[in-house]
Amino acid sequence: MNYQFDWKLVVSGEYGEWIIQGLITTLQISAVSIVLSLVVGTIIAVFRLSKVKPLEWFSLAYTEFFRNTPLLIQIFFWYFGSNSVLPQFVNEWLYEQNFEFAAGVIALTVYTSAFIAEEIRSGIFSIPKTQLESARASGLTFIQSMRFIILPQAYRIIIPPLISQFLNLTKNSSLVMTIGVMDLTYMARQIESYTFHGFEAFTVATVLYICISLVISFVVTMYNKHFLRTIQY
User: Region 153-158: what's the mean pLDDT?
Assistant: 86
Please say if the pLDDT value at position 233 is more than 80. no
Question: For 67-76, how does the pLDDT look when each residue is reduced to its tens digit (9 = 90+)?
Answer: 999 999 999 9
Question: If pLDDT is split at 50, 70 and 90, which confidence band does 10 have?
Answer: confident
The confidence score (pLDDT) of residue 1 equals 56
Residue ranges and CATH numbers for the domains of the chain are 9-232 (1.10.3720.10)
Counting other chains too, the contacts that 173-177 makes at CB distance below 8 Å and 24 or more residues apart are 173/26, 173/29, 173/30, 173/33, 173/104, 173/108, 174/26, 174/209, 175/71, 175/72, 175/75, 176/29, 176/75, 176/100, 176/101, 176/103, 176/104, 176/107, 176/108
Residue 228's pLDDT is 57
Residue of 96 and 168 predicted with greater confidence: 168
Q: Chain-wide mean pLDDT for the chain?
A: 89
